[in-house]
Amino acid sequence: MGNPLVTMLTTRDRVRRQVLRRRSVSVPTEVPGTDAVFLVLRRMRLPLIVLISIFTISVVGMSLMPGVDPDGNPHRLTIFDAFYLMSITATTIGFGEVPYGFSYPQRMWVTASIYMTVIGWAYALSSLFAMVQDRGFREAITVQRLRRRIKGISEPFLIVAGYGQAGRAVARVLDEHHRRFVVIDHSPRKVDTLAIDQHSEDVPGIEGDVHNPALLGLAGLGHPLCEGVLALTTDDCNLAITMNVHLLRPDVPVIARCDDRRTATRLADFDPAAIINPYDRYGHYLGLALKKPATFQLATWLMDPVGSPLVARMPGLTDGRWIVVGDGRFSTEVANDLTAIGLEVTVADPMDGNPDVTGVTGMIAGAESDVENLALAAHARLENPDIFLAVRQRSNLQAATMQAFAADSLFVPSELVAREVLAHIISPDYWAFIDHVLHADDPWSEDVLRRFVDRVGGGTPTSTEFVLDSASAPAVARWFAGGRSLTVGQLTADPDDWLTPLPLLVVSLIRDEETTFLPDDDTALQAGDLLVIAADPDALDQLDRTLFHDRTLHYTATGEVRPETWLFRYLADLRKTP
């Protein structure tokens, strides 16, 4: 089995639930103990009082010390002169005895003042250094720096709550697509990994408890350019995030991970854009592979990395007995899904040792330990070489070993969550087509797969989408402005041979919020249509020639080669005139 399938719920097809009754309040951003100025004033209060007191005593005492002018007349320094003298003395600058030479009492007082100020400065500086090394102060400085950075973001961004395996996978792809994001995680170690992940942009990372709505506010929830929140932590934290976002910023969509159906029910009341339960989904995906292998093959191939070959089908897996070895929610979810499609399923506890796989069609090793799952699968393969093996992988530590084992199906929850999250964010209209495939029957999928292979080839196509307007397709916009018609087949013809189609398929045509999947080549296009394309990567460059150049579009639409320059086009039009 290839990559696990992703069931999509696109924004276009979603019916938004009624928003809970709420009061409009400002998004909090003040995290307790994060005011660096307040910390400085509190920690340095006594040292500053000591330093100021020493300086005050030195100035007043210096103004009272008797002295003489050059003529031998008694003279005392004014308060300003004393202040000036002690300022240059206390800071170790020293410009000599001003305005006149000092008397012995004055020199004795200056000497005493020097030692007093040195002691005061030593006490103040040691307190300052101790405060700078204090963790609370460093966190306060970091938070204020983060607040300035996030406030200065000038493009749409996402908040990624949770930087585990799924969060890192999502962040990596977002960075590849040049999408800005802010990361929150309770673990300082995970936040520190942002610096070594080598993102193209400097990603702000915040350490803290996401139950606190002020932390979301600090991350930019109240920012006008915040376009979504990805809750990828534990169930309890994800529920808190969804609640906070829905009540504070109901216009911001949330995509939440959830491993428990009870929590999923509670999440649904706060209207997230998507709830991703990998345990619940995997049983459905596996059932799809068993009951509709052609549909599974098509959808899996479309979601594989670009250029991946088709994976062979495995027929005959619906007959016989299945064993699910595992504990907790995973084994229960998968067993229920397989039973729902009519399979005979036995649930085994991994504590009971290796199950008897004699005559068993398939086994799913779904214990909590990756090592134990590999051991269970290896024993089953030795006992029954023909058995279908599905293995659950919880951690990336055993990723290389899992790949070397070559199980028929590898279930990686973090990978499934990352795929679905990215599907909602990066290209929701293309993944709406994948969702359409998932609900199709096998004969339809067989026909579509044949069309893909004939047109695009045997490698997984890449996808793109664009609107037929002056920004994305200026040549097409000018063509429509001239009152001329254009079809899907004419738009996607080869710019070098108008009778040959490019190696691509228009998988979706979206017009006025209505979607047509796989429109025929003779389907008429209109200005403002949104087209979703699945293509060989090289074909996109060829298609750009048609979208941007009038001469190329004229050729693909009519078969006529128009001259390049205005003069030759004018002469050509004269020859056509009777």
DSSP single-letter state for residue 181: E
Give Cβ neighbours of residue 372 (< 8 Å, ≥ 6 apart).
Answer: 350, 365
pLDDT at 569 over 70: no
pLDDT at 567 over 70: no
Instruction: Give the rounded distance of the alpha carbon of 296 from its chain centre.
Output: 27
Find tokens 């398929």 and name the residue: 505
Average pLDDT for 481-489: 94
The answer to whether 469 and 477 have CB atoms below 8 angstroms apart is yes
Contacts from 75-83 at CB under 8 Å and sequence distance 24+? 75/100, 77/106, 83/59
Spatial separation of the C-alpha atoms in residues 469 and 141, rounded to whole Å: 48
Structural tokens at position 334: 């998968």
pLDDT at 7 over 50: no
Average pLDDT for 286-315: 85
pLDDT at 303 over 90: no
Picking from 324, 399, 433, 405, the residue whose alpha carbon sits closest to that of residue 13 is 433
Q: Which of 5 and 385 is assigned the larger pLDDT?
A: 385
Spatial separation of the C-alpha atoms in residues 510 and 532, rounded to whole Å: 8
pLDDT at 9 over 50: no
Angle of helix 104-133 relative to helix 79-90, nearest 10 degrees?
Answer: 50
pLDDT tens-digit series, residues 495-543: 999 999 999 999 999 999 899 999 999 999 999 999 999 999 889 999 9
Spatial separation of the C-alpha atoms in residues 406 and 392, rounded to whole Å: 12
Distance, first Cα to last Cα, the chain: 66
Spatial separation of the C-alpha atoms in residues 148 and 129, rounded to whole Å: 25
pLDDT at 6 over 60: no
Q: Which of 313 and 270 is assigned the larger pLDDT?
A: 270
Exposure class string for 22-35: b at 16+ Cβ within 10 A, else e: eeeeebbbebeebe
Find tokens 């890192």 and name the residue: 168
What is the number of alpha carbons within 13 Å of residue 98 lying toward its C-beta? Answer: 13
pLDDT at 193 over 50: yes
Cis amide bond preceding 70, omega within 30:
no
pLDDT at 412 over 50: yes
Q: Which pLDDT belongs to residue 11?
A: 35
Spatial separation of the C-alpha atoms in residues 245 and 4, rounded to whole Å: 29
| β strands within 334-491, DSSP E | 344-348, 360-366, 388-392, 409-411, 462-467
Give the pLDDT band (50/70/90) at residue 565: low
Proportion of the chain above pLDDT 90, given as a percent: 47
Proportion of the chain above pLDDT 70, given as a percent: 91
pLDDT tens-digit series, residues 312-323: 877 667 778 999
Average pLDDT over the chain, rounded to an integer: 86
Spatial separation of the C-alpha atoms in residues 416 and 178, rounded to whole Å: 22
Exposure class string for 137-150: b at 16+ Cβ within 10 A, else e: bebbeebeebbeeb
Picking from 535, 507, 502, the residue whose alpha carbon sits closest to that of residue 520 is 507
Spatial separation of the C-alpha atoms in residues 242 and 216, rounded to whole Å: 11
Strands 274-276 and 254-257: parallel
Q: Beta partners for 224? A: none
The answer to whether 277 and 261 have CB atoms below 8 angstroms apart is yes
Q: Which pLDDT belongs to residue 413?
A: 87
CA R_g for the chain: 35
Average pLDDT for 173-189: 90
pLDDT at 25 over 90: no
Q: Which pLDDT belongs to residue 14?
A: 39
Three-class SS of 238-277: HHHHHHHHHHHCCCCCEEEECCCHHHHHHHHCCCCCEEEC
pLDDT at 342 over 90: no
Give the pLDDT band (50/70/90) at residue 326: confident
Average pLDDT for 51-79: 91
In terms of C-beta density within 10 A (0-12 exposed, 13-18 middle, 19 or more buried), how is residue 383 classed? middle
Q: Which of 284 and 462 is assigned the larger pLDDT?
A: 462
The answer to whether 353 and 313 have CB atoms below 8 angstroms apart is no
pLDDT tens-digit series, residues 346-398: 999 999 889 999 989 999 999 989 999 999 999 999 999 989 999 999 888 88
Indicate the residue type of 219. Answer: A
Structural tokens at position 347: 């649930």
Indicate the residue type of 112. Answer: A
Give the pLDDT band (50/70/90) at residue 428: confident
In angstroms, the Cα distances linking 320 to 172, 313, 343, 357, 576 are: 42, 18, 8, 11, 74
Q: Which of 32 and 452 is assigned the larger pLDDT?
A: 452
Q: Which pLDDT belongs to residue 16?
A: 45
Spatial separation of the C-alpha atoms in residues 228 and 66, rounded to whole Å: 74
pLDDT at 269 over 70: yes
